[in-house]
Amino acid sequence: AQSVAQPEDQVNVAEGNPLTVKCTYSVSGNPYLFWYVQYPNRGLQFLLKYITGDNLVKGSYGFEAEFNKSQTSFHLKKPSALVSDSALYFCAVPGPGTYKYIFGTGTRLKVLA
Amino acid sequence: ETGVTQTPRHLVMGMTNKKSLKCEQHLGHNAMYWYKQSAKKPLELMFVYNFKEQTENNSVPSRFSPECPNSSHLFLHLHTLQPEDSALYLCASSQFDLQGDTEPLHFGNGTRLTVT
């Protein structure tokens, strides 16, 4: 069965420092992996996806994610965090049908000024 | 207007009430979804409609009743809810590609439901 795990409930980082939000996956076949962000009182917004090709995927708002097949990980990264990046981040993988998504439990990112 | 619009943004209802949540997408997508987001729980997929046909009912209690009259509109009819049904209900849409490409979900801002 497809699944993703986000091992950290919360990540704190100082503004200007690099940030990493972790995600590991378990899929059968080739993995399709997604990151979404949820700001307060809003729905989820798509950030980026990995389908195939380069292991480093670039997305919106300066975020990127590194696909690592040997470690079955797809960590979200940003070189320099902003206070406005504070939000809830979700890793996701399509389920048994390509139109169904399985989400991780979410990681709350707090960027401290 | 673009994107996915959900109304109302907030709803308070008693356990004996009947209410409906509305979702409209202006993206030309062919699949629509209802998700439930509760505090400290993973996002729960409730229903999926693909080309207006319900293709997924994820063991949702019958007090939740979805309706998809066309590919742009999705409703969630609520009746005799329980306090534990209080949550953020999110609607989403996507373009399901018959060739198997996986497109991202586009979410509305949700309806915050409180059952008293």
- pLDDT digit string (tens) for chain B, length 116 residues: 569 999 999 999 998 889 999 999 999 998 999 999 998 788 999 998 887 677 677 789 999 999 999 989 999 999 999 999 999 999 999 987 766 557 889 999 999 999 99
Token pair, residue B78, equals 């609520």
> Would you place residue A47 in the very low, low, confident or very high pLDDT band (cuts 50, 70, 90)?
very high
Our CA-based measurement puts residue A49 at a distance from the nearest CA of chain B, in whole angstroms, of 8
Q: Give the up-direction half-sphere exposure of residue B75: CA atoms within 13 A in the CB hemisphere.
A: 10
Q: Is B68 on the interface with A (CB under 8 A)?
A: no
**Residues B3-21: tens digit of each pLDDT:** 999 999 999 999 888 999 9
User: Which among A90, A94, A98 has CB closest to B43?
Assistant: A90
The amino acid at residue A54 is: D
- Are B45 and A100 inside 8 Å of each other by CB? yes
Which of A36, A37, A10 is CA-nearest to residue A92? Answer: A36
CB contact under 8 A, B4 and A43: yes
Which amino acid is residue B65, in one-letter code?
S
For residue B56, list chain A residues with Cβ-Cβ distance below 8 A.
97, 100
How many Cα atoms within 13 Å fall on the side-chain side of residue A92? 29
Yes or no, beta carbons of B43 and A103 under 8 Å apart: yes
